[in-house]
Structure 1
Amino acid sequence: MSATSSSSGPSRAIVVGAGLGGLSAAMRLGAKGYAVTVIDRLDTPGGRGSAIHKNGHRFDLGPTIVTVPQLFRDLWRACGRDFDADVDLRALDPFYEIRWPDGSRFAARQDTDAMRAEVARLSPRDVKGYDRFLRDAEARYAFGFEDLGRRSMHRFADLLAVLPKFAALRADRSVASHAKRRFRDPRLQMAFSFHPLFIGGDPFNVTSMYILVSHLEKEFGVHYAMGGVAAIAEAMAHVIADQGGELCFGTEVDEILVDKGRTTGVRLIDGRIERADLVVSNADAGHTYDRLLRNGSKRRWTPERLRKRRWSMGLYVWYFGTSDTAGMWRDVGHHTILNGPRYEGLVRDIFIEGQLSEDMSLYLHRPSVTDPSVAPEGDDTFYALSPVPHLGFPHHADWEAEGTAYQEKVAAQLETVIPGFRDRISASHVMTPPDFRDRYLSPHGSGFSIEPRILQSAWFRPHNVSEEAEGLYLVGAGTHPGAGLPGVLSSAEVLGKLVPDPARPVSTPMGLAAE
């Protein structure tokens, strides 16, 4: 039942966690010739990208958009497959609409002339600044994404080599600071600086390298996968199975085993031991080092160092379905960002003060305008997401006590854009930071693991190849290069370059039965 090592070289791999990073890693290892087993405590693939179903509504629990589809196409190609034959992507136009309390709106699109027109409509004097911002974003994309983001940064010498480029691109400035230098209108400053929130970062403290997201959107567009990101995860699971790999759900890894400095396999929560030549952890990097490697001494990622990390914000997410709403709320599209009265002050409350504010900004997802499969005919499916403080602050919110009141505040804001929705709710589900902690084993219930500040990025972030044990690798949001679908897929691409080809490929699965 347990895996055994081949005397001619490594051939078997265990991947802990079936999030998008773990599934990508398993696909790349399978393409190399490893016999791969993926183990996940949930009952379905995808991790944060999974879905639940209630009363005919499908709720996509996590990411909702695909911004760099060629990363998926490259992954499938490495496995000898065609991504577009397995997944139906639909380009969105507009990508999203941003709304402010004064009634003004901004629609983000791929077409540059259309974007210039949107900028000019709000602030004609900022059009030249927009053009400069685009050039800035492209330069940071070439360096930060195509270069640093797609190679390992585990050697300190690699960091030293790129410091001059970091300095030249003023990586010391924040995203918000850079946007303020290019736009005079506060609304446009927000519209071109909020993107780090999509990966758990404070726009007023995250390095300006992350303005590269604006180039990603312009160059590659924003897409939605029919069936949601969960459909991508299911397609990835099918590729792994076709490679001869095995996916074991409802099975939890309790410890990564290390003997004389080398990873030897894992111990499951029920005490069973599974041997392997290498282990890839797609569990949160904090959970990996603090829990899964709890019995070993650590050179770098000690409990003390983990305590000093700054973690991404938590998330309050209300998933709900409405009945008989076809044709209603025609001006509400697939993605809408509803700004509260404050921007910088609210972000500071969330990331610095750790206090639950009276006001909020919401991200409203309405996939039913694109994908009829998310709801019964004539109905709609939504989720409303509000960034909130994580649970690591001394006086964090008591969600059991405060959750109902907060939901009422969210509902009051939603009534301004989808009036009467409460009377038509046919399904409802809420996730708060404690749910992220318990479902995903995310430290402090954070939504995106370690915050991507400059001194928590690249070499400073948990590496894809661990220095704590030979044969241990990490992928996912908490590792290099970071969170978001492009980040977690790139972490597996980096892994593929680090892991050697097996000396003797093995095509038979390990034989670990799913619970």
Structure 2
Amino acid sequence: MRWEQNMSDSAAPQRAIVIGAGLGGLASAMRLGAKGYSVCVIDKLDLPGGRGSSITQGGHRFDLGPTIVTVPQGLRDLWAACGRDFDRDVTLKPMDPFYEIRWEDGSTFTMRQDEAAMEAEVKRLSPSDVKGYHKFLNDSEDRYWFGYENLGRRPMNELWELIKVLPRFAWLRADRSVYAHAARRVRDPRLRFALSFHPLFIGGDPFRVTSMYILVSHLEKAFGVHYAMGGVQAIAKAMAQVIRDQGGMVRMGEEVDEILVEHGRAAGVRLVGGERLDADIVVSNADAGHTYTRLLRNRTRKRWTDAKLKRQRWSMGLFVWYFGTRGTKDMWRDVGHHTIVVGPRYREHIQDIFIKGRLADDMSLYVHRPSVTDPSVAPDGDDTFYVLSPVPHLGHDNGVDWTVEAEPYRQKMLAMLENRLLPGLSQHLSESLVFTPDTFRDRYLSPLGAGFSIEPRILQSAYFRPHNISEEVPGLFLAGAGTHPGAGVPGVIGTAEVLAQLVPDAAPATPLRMAAE
């Protein structure tokens, strides 16, 4: 199937080009296909999914980015908008428990959906904090209804939309940080960590990100935590198939070099190889920073100038070690699908990452062991792991030289895993793959190698974030983590829902157009 360039405007279906086959781009393409557009998705990687793609090595499938689904209904709504049934295409498995947190003193905290089990966990750690914990959950639900179901599901590109909600922001103390809000409800430092670390999974500093993001606790309680069998890659492949079934195209292994602007509006794209593709609208799922500074480099910009983007605070970087182990399926029986291994410092370590830009000697780790749930990720009897550590992005003055530091940091990670979680690990290692912020910069074209685009601080969220409809070029729209409502699987899927409210339906096919088709 070819992307036809020689039909007259009156004969051809309205065309939409989507730059980037990340989850936000794929969801946008599905929404546009449902609105009647002929869609072409272009991505430089070999598989769809962007950060949610995978690499298979030595029989191990390494799912590279997001590992869980917290709001399945968002995906079901997306499929339904296309006249499809999500659960026919993808199998989700509820996680129980969601994850376990382990501290240096040997104490643990297991997150579950069951309310009685959670109250027992809180009581076991700190009986005096049970009442405050319930207050925190109520606070979380209030912010969910306002921040997720209200602001997060509608456009925020007009200043009036911001003005209308300012009183509610003030009432909910959006100026307070996630950690500060947790600290007002519970006293135990371990519970404060357990209730405040979630912003790290969308690129935010828990001590500075707005307390609106405590809504994640309600998301987990209300919807649960799920794993997609086959990994998030299975969701991405299913999305690409829906696009093809709609008559669209997904072109992998090709990179967009520039968004073309003619007669004052987006007119298509030019690929790195020089090929030109015309379109009626363009959607960029590339990082908002890359979209404006690179893809619109030849266009004078009024709002998102290079200088303004340079002043933004970007999310932290990520050091991710993917590895396989031989003959370990019956080892480490107390290690489940998700484990968080907490280092000795919290506030100070976060300051090292976000403020000082310093690569600390200590670390906290997120450990993903999908092979306990999904046999397809590893050879029989073996395990596949993914271990993530937040690190500074590449934009600090004392930036980390990962060509020098990557292997020593991996060795520190190995030592911590052997000491705290996986004894004897080094004797069973097989495959190994490391991603640093350099990888995120080069593979995903992420400014400063940031893991989650612009950090979701209060003055970098909603109206203050790059808008889903570009102010710079008519006919250009944005999707993905760098725009509203933000990062995380629910967030990037939500950017497509917002975008669909801003993009007009494609013009109905005329007899001339149908004849040409």
TM-score by length of 2: 0.97
CA-CA distance at 1:299 after TM superposition: 1.2
CA-CA distance at 1:3 after TM superposition: 6.7
Aligned runs of 1:310-321 on 2, under 5 Å?
310-321=313-324
**2:443 is aligned with what amino acid?**
R
**Does the CA-based 8 Å contact 2:13-2:38 persist in structure 1?**
no
Matched position secondary structure for 2:456: coil
Matched position secondary structure for 2:261: strand
**Does the CA-based 8 Å contact 2:322-2:385 persist in structure 1?**
yes
Check if 1:154 corresponds to 2:141.
Answer: no
- Deviations along 1:107-133, one digit per CA (max 9) or x if unpaired, are 001111111110000000000001100
Which residue matches 1:451?
Answer: 455
Which residue matches 2:26?
Answer: 23
CA-CA distance at 1:505 after TM superposition: 4.5
Q: Distance in 2 between matches of 1:122 and 1:313?
A: 30
**2:200 is aligned with what amino acid?**
L
- Deviations along 1:418-470, one digit per CA (max 9) or x if unpaired, are 11111111100000000000000000000000000000000000000001111
CA-CA distance at 1:5 after TM superposition: 6.5
Check if 1:283 corresponds to 2:286.
Answer: yes
Matched position secondary structure for 2:113: coil
Check if 1:50 corresponds to 2:65.
Answer: no
Q: 1:382 aligns with which of 381, 385, 388?
A: 385
- Deviations along 1:51-97, one digit per CA (max 9) or x if unpaired, are 00111000000000000000000000000100000000000011000
Change (3 A) 1:487 1:505: farther
Which residue matches 1:97?
Answer: 100
Change (3 A) 1:164 1:505: farther
Q: Distance in 2 between matches of 1:3 and 1:433?
A: 42
Check if 1:430 corresponds to 2:434.
Answer: yes
- Deviations along 1:214-252, one digit per CA (max 9) or x if unpaired, are 000000000000000000000001100000000101111
Matched position secondary structure for 1:415: helix
Check if 1:392 corresponds to 2:410.
Answer: no
- Deviations along 1:157-215, one digit per CA (max 9) or x if unpaired, are 11011100000000000000000000100000000000000000000000000000000
Aligned runs of 1:206-217 on 2, under 5 Å?
206-217=209-220
**2:368 is aligned with what amino acid?**
H
Which residue matches 1:163?
Answer: 166
Q: Distance in 2 between matches of 1:158 and 1:494?
A: 14
Aligned runs of 1:277-356 on 2, under 5 Å?
277-356=280-359
CA-CA distance at 1:8 after TM superposition: 8.6
CA-CA distance at 1:2 after TM superposition: 2.5
**1:212 is aligned with what amino acid?**
L
Aligned runs of 1:50-129 on 2, under 5 Å?
50-129=53-132
- Deviations along 1:25-60, one digit per CA (max 9) or x if unpaired, are 000000111000000011110000000011100000
Q: Distance in 1 between matches of 2:492 and 2:199?
A: 15
CA-CA distance at 1:272 after TM superposition: 1.2
Q: Distance in 2 between matches of 1:42 and 1:76?
A: 24
Matched position secondary structure for 2:470: coil
Which residue matches 2:135?
Answer: 132
Aligned runs of 1:212-291 on 2, under 5 Å?
212-291=215-294
Change (3 A) 1:267 1:185: same
**Does the CA-based 8 Å contact 1:477-1:487 persist in structure 2?**
yes
**2:456 is aligned with what amino acid?**
P
**Does the CA-based 8 Å contact 1:285-1:479 persist in structure 2?**
yes
CA-CA distance at 1:503 after TM superposition: 1.1
Q: Distance in 1 between matches of 2:23 and 2:197?
A: 24
Q: Distance in 2 between matches of 1:84 and 1:304?
A: 45
**Does the CA-based 8 Å contact 2:98-2:111 persist in structure 1?**
yes
Q: Distance in 2 between matches of 1:120 and 1:4?
A: 68
Q: 1:2 aligns with which of 1, 5, 14?
A: 5
CA-CA distance at 1:10 after TM superposition: 7.4
Q: Distance in 2 between matches of 1:470 and 1:10?
A: 20
**Does the CA-based 8 Å contact 1:2-1:273 persist in structure 2?**
no
Which residue matches 1:411?
Answer: 414
Which residue matches 2:44?
Answer: 41
Check if 1:462 corresponds to 2:466.
Answer: yes
Using the TM superposition, name which of 499-508 and 87-96 deviates more.
499-508
Quick one: percent identity of the two aligned structures?
A: 68
Matched position secondary structure for 1:406: helix
**1:421 is aligned with what amino acid?**
L
Q: Distance in 2 between matches of 1:216 and 1:145?
A: 9
**Does the CA-based 8 Å contact 1:11-1:504 persist in structure 2?**
no
Q: 2:494 aligns with which of 485, 490, 493?
A: 490
Q: 1:195 aligns with which of 190, 194, 198?
A: 198
TM-score by length of 1: 0.97
Which residue matches 1:185?
Answer: 188
Q: Distance in 1 between matches of 2:384 and 2:346?
A: 28
Q: Which runs of 5+ in 1 are unaligned?
A: none
Q: Distance in 2 between matches of 1:233 and 1:457?
A: 26
**Does the CA-based 8 Å contact 1:290-1:303 persist in structure 2?**
yes
Matched position secondary structure for 2:196: coil
Figure out how many residues of one structure are paired with residues of the other and give that number. 510
CA-CA distance at 1:6 after TM superposition: 2.9
Q: Distance in 2 between matches of 1:357 and 1:126?
A: 31
**Does the CA-based 8 Å contact 2:328-2:382 persist in structure 1?**
yes
Q: 1:441 aligns with which of 431, 442, 445?
A: 445
**Does the CA-based 8 Å contact 1:319-1:384 persist in structure 2?**
yes
Matched position secondary structure for 1:73: helix
- Deviations along 1:295-338, one digit per CA (max 9) or x if unpaired, are 00111000000000000000000000000012100000000000
**2:477 is aligned with what amino acid?**
Y
**Does the CA-based 8 Å contact 1:313-1:389 persist in structure 2?**
yes
Change (3 A) 1:4 1:205: farther
Q: Distance in 2 between matches of 1:116 and 1:288?
A: 46
Matched position secondary structure for 2:259: strand
**Does the CA-based 8 Å contact 1:5-1:276 persist in structure 2?**
no
Matched position secondary structure for 2:434: strand
CA-CA distance at 1:504 after TM superposition: 2.7
**Does the CA-based 8 Å contact 1:9-1:504 persist in structure 2?**
no
Q: Distance in 2 between matches of 1:123 and 1:25?
A: 45
Matched position secondary structure for 1:162: helix
**Does the CA-based 8 Å contact 2:36-2:507 persist in structure 1?**
no
Change (3 A) 1:285 1:407: same
Q: Distance in 2 between matches of 1:493 and 1:2?
A: 29
Q: Distance in 1 between matches of 2:276 and 2:328?
A: 52
